[in-house]
Each structure stands twice: as C-alpha cells, then as structure tokens.
Structure 1
Amino acid sequence: MIPVLKRLAANKTALTGAIISVLVAFAVVFGPMISPYDGDSMDVMAMLAPPSLAHPFGTDTMGRDVLTRVLYGARLSLLISISGVGVAAVLGSMIGLFIAYRPGFFSNVLMKASDLLFSFPSFVLALFLMVVLGYGVFNVALAIALIYLPIFVRLARNLAQLIVMEPWVQAAKLFGQPTHSILLRELLPNALSPLLVQATIGVAFGIVIEAGVSFLGLGVQPPAPSLGLVMSDGREYFNTAPWVLTMTGLAISIALLGLNLLGDGLRDLTDPKLKERLS
C-alpha cells in the first residue's frame, strides 16, 4: 500500500486527478446531507437569486438552490455512468480477450457486430438508442453500456493479440488449462492497465452522454434529478440568469478534469517501465 502511495505522490498528474476526484466524490456523496436546502424545496422570495454566500450557485426560477440540485443530479449521473461503463468494461473485455484467444467464425461475428456499433459517433448512437429503448434511468445506463462495449472489445482484443503468443500463455494452454482460466489468469492481468485507464475516461464521458441526452429531454425524466435536467432548466432563462447553466457546466467540467487526469495517472502508475524507474 505504501509503495502505491509513494508512486501516486510522485506522479503530479495522478495526484491532481485523485485529489479532484476524491473531492468531487465527497461532495456528491455527502453534499446533499450537509446542504441546508432540499433539492426540490422552493423559495418564492429567492427566485433567480444570483450566486451568493447563501446560494453559491444561485437559484432557479422556482427558488431552488442550484448547488444542491447539482449535487443531487451529479449523484444520479455518476451512478448511471459507472453502471453503464462498468457493464461495458466487464463484458467487452471478456469478449475481446476471447476473440483474440479463440479466432474463428463465432469470434468474427462478434467482431463484426462490435465494428458496426463502433462505426457510429458516440452521441449520435446515444440519441438513436434512447429513441429505440425509451426514456429512463435504466435505459440511459444501457445506452452508455452499448456505446462503450465495442471500445472495450477492440481494446481488449488488440492487447490480447500481443500477449497470446507469450511463452507463459502457450505453457498454460499446453498444460490443459481451460479457456476461462487462461482468459482470467493469463491474459486479463496483463491487459488490465489500459483497460482501467479506458474505464476511468469512459466514466467521464459517460457523464457527458447522460447530461447530453437528458438536456435534450431524451434521457432521465423529471422529477428524478440529473445534471442534464438542471442544465435544461437553465437554458430557458439563460439571458436573465446565466449562472444556472454556467455553474452546472463548470461543475461537470471540474469532474471531467479530475477523472481524465486520474486516468492518465493510472496509466503511468501501472506502466511496468515507470514502476522500475520509481522503485
């Protein structure tokens, strides 16, 4: 544990990303409990109040505290993103490893299906999936999973193709280890570093996808909180109260910055060459 912390402290990118991510996670988890306001409580005497000590992000047209609504919305958006990317990472990684280890007709079919999904721009595919699947929290998470599934399939396959011919993999095959054992014990650990980086970055862009589709009214629906819904409300009166949209966008940007820096730092920390230089 101590060597990991030393490498983390030595890597400024990883340390900065970890600090920002921890602060954001703390705010998302405990912020709504600490806030003196409720996400849906209205104050007609404080409608469209600009940012102040009482309301750091200002209030909306119903007098609701924007910061509190952002914290509630971030909690749901983060949960949706982690769920969708997590499913895509686990399923996509195993499919990619299997394709590399057992090439054949079935593997080619899986790869062609993955390429078909990968050929669509991410946000265009998200909009299409939301129209097909329908609205709601579960369907947004499912759409994110389907968007990132081919990314993990291709990444895991490319990594495994470099590992599958290594002597220890061939030895495990000669000793009669079953396919699932080779995939989990020989291929996956050696491909884990880039997959973790992609998962971290995927969570960041999953938040963007959720916010985007909800902003357009195709994702999470009221009264459930969502960053996209908060921004959508602020769009209607941006000229008179720009803080609702801008403060929410700033909060999303800070969260994305932390996750992206953390992803880059994880890549460096799990790089064997970097480990040797820092050891």
Structure 2
Amino acid sequence: MKLKHFLHNRTALAGLTITTLFLLAVFFGPMLSKWSSNQHDFMNALQAPSWAHPFGTDSLGRDVITRVLEGARISLLISVSGVFAAMVLGITAGLYSGFHGGWMDVIVMRVVDLLFAFPAFVLALFLMVALGYGVTNVALAIMLVYLPIFARITRNMTETVRNDAYVQAAQVMGQGTPRILFREILPNISAPILVQATIAVAFGIVIESGLSFIGLGVQPPTPSLGVIMADGQEYFRRSPWVLTLSGLSVTVALLGLNLLGDGIRDLSDPRLKVRE
C-alpha cells in the first residue's frame, strides 16, 4: 500500500482524519480542561451548557465534556487492549492451523466454531458474569469475542498461500516454521487482518459501552462512555446533553474507524487500487 494511493483514496483519508482528531481530543482534551473528570460541584448539578461548562454538567455537577473525553479515552484503551490480545492469539493460532493443517487445524477450528456459536454480546456477558466486573475483564470479554474472527481469517488466508512459490522457496532455503509464518506469510495476508482490526476496535467500544451501560462493565466513579450514558439516561428529559454527547462520541469513533477500514480494504483490493 503506497502513500500516494492512500492520499488519493477519499474514504481512507476521511477515516484517518476523523480518527486522528478523535484521538487528539480524547488524549489531550482532558489535559486542557480546568476541570477534572471526577470533580464534583453539587451546587451546579445538571446545569445547561454555559461558558464555564460548554456542554453542561451531570447529576453530580461534573463537567460533561471533560468527563466524556476522559471516558472515551478509557473506552478506546479497553477496546484496543482487547483487540490487540485477540489479534496476537488469533493470528498465531490461525497461522499454525492454516500452515500445518491436520489435527491442529481440526482442534483450532472446532474451538473457533464453538465461540462463533454464541452471539458476540452474549459471549461478552457470559465472561463478565463468570469473572466479575472491571476494566480488565471487559478487555478480556472483547478479546474472547474477536479471537475466533482473527483466527479464522488468518487460517483461511494462510491456507490459500501456503503452497505459493515464495513459501516453497523459503522452505527450500531451510527457514524455520516461525520465520516462514511471521516473516513470509503474515506480511502478505495482513491487509484483511488490518481491515478487521479497525472494525473490531470500533465495535469493541460499543461492547464496552453496552456492558458498562447495564452495570456489568466499568464501574463508577471511573468514567467510560457506557458509565456516562447510564448516568445520562436517568436524567435525559431534564438534561439531554449528558447522554447526547457521550452517544455522539461513540458515533464519531465508529464513523472514523469504519471509514478507515473501508479505505484500507479498497487499497488492498487489486481491482480497486489506483493505477500508477
């Protein structure tokens, strides 16, 4: 994927721009605010947007925009952590399964099929009930949801290229299996994995928000988008800005990451690449 191709792809460029602005806001925004995410001001609870609080305050008088930016950062980090763990385990299992086949492939694919038998959110709920609440367990739930997806994609792509000339040449040269898998095969099948990673991070934020919204994920007073939305929905009729801004943050994250994923997919498709 060349830089000039990326710059000519409007979808990828729009996704990168939105994602970059979102990242800058959630990582640097709270540092620029004069309020902290858990700074209470009971005398100004549920205040409408003003110069002091551009997006109002919540039920405990906390600045909404500071809290949403901090919560979005936490939600994003939880999602990225879970997806990264799923990628490491899923890609490794998929590479060995697709390359060697046989009993290893049977075992890996049966485990993947078992995990696929459960809807994603139900699988996440099961893990939260089994392990308990907290940031770490939400990340583990996201990992469990996306591990079989990365394993299956990697296995299928490895199976299609394991007999290609460059793989056979590496074997003839005496390269070990790990080197062949991670230095020869993985770079050549990375495009669909990267596309899936962007989508997984986006919907990992949705999973975290959903679990925390129903009280099974991140617990107050730690801010996350789900915790903020749960607080905001209780006072939505009186103070809609709390729920609206947190919901908008999820929408922006999903939009940016999905557009970025679509752009990477287009650039990796030989039929859609920009011709030199």
Give the TM interval when normalised to the shorter protein.
over 0.9
Q: Of 83, 89, 112, which aligns to 1:85? A: 83
Distance 2:275 2:213 in 1: 45
- 1:161 — aligned with what? 159
User: Gapped runs of 5+ residues in structure 2?
Assistant: none
- 1:247 — aligned with what? 245
Q: Deviations over 1:68-99 (max 9, x none)?
A: 11111111111111111011112101211111
Q: Of 126, 129, 134, which aligns to 1:128? A: 126
1:202 aligns with 2:200: yes
1:182 aligns with 2:170: no
Q: Of 202, 205, 214, which aligns to 2:212? A: 214
Counterparts of residues 59-74 of structure 1 (less than 5 Å): 59-74=57-72
3-state DSSP of counterpart to 2:37 = coil
Counterparts of residues 4-43 of structure 1 (less than 5 Å): 4=3, 6-43=4-41
1:104 aligns with 2:102: yes
What's the Cα RMSD here?
1.6
3-state DSSP of counterpart to 1:220 = coil
Q: Deviations over 1:6-33 (max 9, x none)?
A: 3232111011111110100000110010
User: 37-46 or 187-196: which moved more?
Assistant: 37-46
Q: TM-score, normalised by structure 1?
A: 0.94
1:224 aligns with 2:222: yes
Q: TM-score, normalised by structure 2?
A: 0.95
Q: Deviations over 1:139-168 (max 9, x none)?
A: 111111111000001111111111112122
The 8 Å contact of residues 72 and 249 in structure 2, kept in 1 or not, is answered as no
The 8 Å contact of residues 202 and 253 in structure 2, kept in 1 or not, is answered as yes
- 1:150 — aligned with what? 148
Q: Deviations over 1:93-126 (max 9, x none)?
A: 1211111110111321111011111121111111
Distance 1:272 1:176 in 2: 31
Distance 1:158 1:237 in 2: 48
Using the TM superposition, give the Cα deviation of residue 270 of structure 1 relative to its aligned residue in structure 2, in angstroms.
Answer: 3.6
Distance 2:137 2:40 in 1: 30
User: Gapped runs of 5+ residues in structure 1?
Assistant: none
Distance 2:14 2:200 in 1: 19
3-state DSSP of counterpart to 1:51 = coil
Distance 1:152 1:262 in 2: 18
Aligned length: 276
Distance 2:248 2:21 in 1: 15
The 8 Å contact of residues 38 and 62 in structure 2, kept in 1 or not, is answered as yes
- 1:262 — aligned with what? 260
Q: Deviations over 1:203-239 (max 9, x none)?
A: 0000010111011111111222211101111121122
- 2:116 — aligned with what? 118
Distance 2:180 2:106 in 1: 20
Distance 1:199 1:91 in 2: 13
The one-letter amino acid of 1:259's match is: L
Q: Percent identity?
A: 59
Using the TM superposition, give the Cα deviation of residue 181 of structure 1 relative to its aligned residue in structure 2, in angstroms.
Answer: 1.2
